[in-house]
Amino acid sequence: MHGHSRRTLALFRGLTRPGVVAFLLAVPALILGAWPTAGEKPAIDFSSKHDILIRSEDGSLTPMDVPYFKSTLVAPGTWQILSDGDYSYLVEGEDEALVIDSGYGAGNIREYCQSLTKKPVRNIANTHDHFDHTANNSYFERAYMSAETKKKATIPFPSFEGITFPRDYPIEVIGDGYRFQLGNRELEVLEIPNHASGSLAFLDKRERILFSGDEIMPMGVRLNCSVAQFEKNMRKIAARRSEYDRLCAGFGVFDASYVDKFLANAQHVLAGHEGGPVQPRPRPAAATDAPSGPVIYGRRMPRPGDVPKNIGQTNEYQRRMSYEGCDITYDIRRVGE
């Protein structure tokens, strides 16, 4: 304590009078959290990737370091944000607006979202840790996520080597039952771990949406947990089905009836039915159109080096159950709890 105050005195002695004034003015601003604001957060530097091109859905090509943002209003005060990586969402209440997932595209997604709403955009909430959902968390004042997500958030995929993504942003750990109060709009947190061990869904009763991250994919769900755990996850959100009609997911906006379908499928497997063998699926094609040409990635599409090695590989224990119009790929050694 004593040593500390002596250092503080030495600091003041070393400052000129205007310096002291500037220091004293800065202190309350820091305490109030008024600095840095959205615009002053240091930009994440993508310039080392300038020669890589991203092909958008309309066929146009943009250098990877050039910010690209588009938004679609999906409900009142609710925007789906396209940048790169999976979709983000901007959720506006009467007091503030919250961003769900931060994508991995170049540019300040917080500033972009602030251009869409008059309510302050301060915080980010993550459905799960994967880099295509957490790369740009550091633009926000605070990131809300599960304890499991905190361990692995904002760890770059291999294709981002050479870019520094800050991981030292303030984090608040949340879980089941936590409620974001945005002003006449509440988001309730539901833990549904499978795709990622720390996955959260956010239930928006006002607009009847469940923000579900990557946990429910219409093209099929690959289980990382047991079938029993997956059934428990689906049962948990199916129990709230009267409160939402749509899923706003990392991959797009879907009808919430997929929750019922996946629940029925999981219960079918738990009742003793076994899925068929899994045919290997081709891994994403090479990123380059021609061997000598520039590297081109599809916007929002996984890049070859970033896909976990076990994806697309099959083994003798894997089964795929197609039932009720959806697919579950699971391991026969991990059916029960």
Closer of 114 and 137 to Zn ion (Cβ): 137
Residue 206 backbone phi and psi in degrees, to 5? -60, -45
Amino acid at site 2: H
261 part of the interface to Zn ion, by CB under 5 A: no
Residue with tokens 């959806």: 326
Give the binding range for Zn ion (CB under 5 A) out of 66-74, 208-216, 266-274, 298-306: 208-216
Count of other CB atoms within 10 angstroms of residue 264: 16
Both tokens assigned to 40: 């002053």
Closer of 25 and 219 to Zn ion (Cβ): 219
Q: List helix spans (H) across the chain.
A: 2-14, 17-32, 109-114, 131-134, 147-152, 227-238, 257-270
Choose, by CB under 5 A, the member of 41, 130, 185, 299 that binds Zn ion.
130
- Nearest approach, Cβ of residue 280 and Zn ion (Å): 21
- Nearest approach, Cβ of residue 113 and Zn ion (Å): 21
- Nearest approach, Cβ of residue 26 and Zn ion (Å): 39
Residues linked to residue 80 through DSSP beta bridges, in sequence order: 72, 89
- Nearest approach, Cβ of residue 242 and Zn ion (Å): 28
Residue 276 backbone phi and psi in degrees, to 5? -85, 170
- C-alpha 337/C-alpha 334 separation (Å) is 7
Could you give the 3-state DSSP secondary structure of residue 329? strand
Count of other CB atoms within 10 angstroms of residue 45: 13
Angle, CA 317 vertex, CA 314 and CA 321 arms, to 5°: 85
**Number of helical (H) and strand (E) elements in the chain, helices listed first:** 7, 19
Closer of 119 and 130 to Zn ion (Cβ): 130
96 part of the interface to Zn ion, by CB under 5 A: no
Give the binding range for Zn ion (CB under 5 A) out of 41-49, 51-59, 209-217, 257-265: 209-217
Give the binding range for Zn ion (CB under 5 A) out of 37-45, 160-168, 213-221, 273-281: 213-221
The enclosing H or E element of 187 equals strand 186-191
Residue with tokens 């391991």: 331
Give the binding range for Zn ion (CB under 5 A) out of 124-132, 178-186, 222-230, 288-296: 124-132
214 part of the interface to Zn ion, by CB under 5 A: yes
Residue of this chain nearest to Zn ion (CB atom): 130
Residue 249 backbone phi and psi in degrees, to 5? -115, 170
β-strands 221-222, 209-213: how paired? unpaired
Closer of 90 and 196 to Zn ion (Cβ): 196
Closer of 49 and 130 to Zn ion (Cβ): 130
Residues in the interface with Zn ion (CB under 5 A) total 2
Closer of 92 and 214 to Zn ion (Cβ): 214
Give the binding range for Zn ion (CB under 5 A) out of 89-97, 172-180, 207-215, 303-311: 207-215
- Nearest approach, Cβ of residue 133 and Zn ion (Å): 6
Closer of 96 and 214 to Zn ion (Cβ): 214
Amino acid at site 259: V
Give the binding range for Zn ion (CB under 5 A) out of 29-37, 64-72, 129-137, 255-263: 129-137
Which residues form the interface with Zn ion (CB under 5 A)? 130, 214
